[in-house]
Structure 1
Amino acid sequence: MVICARPSFPTMLWRGVRRRCPWCGGRRAFFTGWFAKQETCRTCGIGWRRGDVGFELGAAAVSAVICMGLLVVAMVVGIVLTLPDIPVVPLLVVLGGGALVLPVVVYPVSYTVWQAVDLTMRKPERADPTVPPPVP
């Protein structure tokens, strides 16, 4: 694993939003497909989870925040644009469709954004495992 200079938090977040490695900025660093990921970055070799058992929970929370935020914004815009006679059923159909599609679209972004947050809280060290040990 290559330990390079620590990037700033906004830089790591921006890299995560673009599905790049938050640490080195490598393209297609962890994802080989939309849902398929590998354990280490192809560029710098940093581990995906770095031995943390709860990594997926943080990524799921980021996904929920992004999806709920976008749905609330869409709902407010839909209500404001159609005042005073709000078409409730079409609005619910559009928002329901968004609630089904958004988590699929946001999946890889939520993981790389959460990794940016994780790397900010826990700077990688040479002793970090690249692949988590098996659970007994």
Structure 2
Amino acid sequence: MPGRPPHDGQTAGVRVLWRGLTLACPSCGGRGLFRRWGLFAIRERCPHCRLKFERMEGHWLGAVAVNTVVSATAVILTVVVAMLVWGTDVSRGLLLAIAAPVGVILPVLFDPVSRTLWTAIDALVRPPTPADFD
């Protein structure tokens, strides 16, 4: 049912987070939240239940933080795996050649997921009110 907050007893927190990870609305699970894949392309509201995504000023800073943590973790894991494979004598140039693309490409590809995931986390922490729907 569109317009229903995610805390109605039927939708568990895990489902809300899963919706965020799969680019769906945390409230209704609707798709089509992005005009196109890429930076800053999320719609202002869910096209199905009309949940407003940016419910307060600075909302997207949380998505930036999620993206930063995931990307930094991926870069560190890439370096650790490279050092496990080639040993600690691996050159800095090789480590840079392997880790730099991860640190540049992953944040761009993960941006849409970080936005919907942060919106889901926000919906769990601050459940939407009827005023958050159109």
Does TM, normalized by the shorter one, top 0.5?
A: yes
1:84, distance to aligned residue in structure 2 (A):
4.7
Match of 1:116 among 87, 101, 120: 120
Distance 1:91 1:13, change over 3 A: same
Structure 1: which 4+ aligned runs deviate by more than 3 Å?
Answer: none
RMSD: 1.7
TM-score (ref. length: structure 2)? 0.86
Is 2:38 the counterpart of 1:37? no
Provide Cα deviations, 1:1-48, integer angstroms capped at 9, x if missing partner. Answer: 6124522222122111111112211122x2121132211111211111
In structure 1, the gaps of 5 or more residues are 131-136
Match of 2:132 among 118, 128, 131: 128
SS where residue 130 of structure 2 aligns?
Answer: coil
Distance 1:104 1:14, change over 3 A: same
Distance 1:54 1:126, change over 3 A: same
Match of 1:18 among 11, 14, 22: 22
Q: How many residues align?
A: 128
**Matched residue, 2:100:** 96
Match of 1:56 among 30, 55, 60: 60
TM-score (ref. length: structure 1)? 0.85
Question: For 1:25 and 1:59, how far apart are their aligned partners in 2?
Answer: 19
Given residue 2 of structure 1, which amino acid in structure 2 is its aligned partner?
A: G
Q: Percent identity?
A: 34
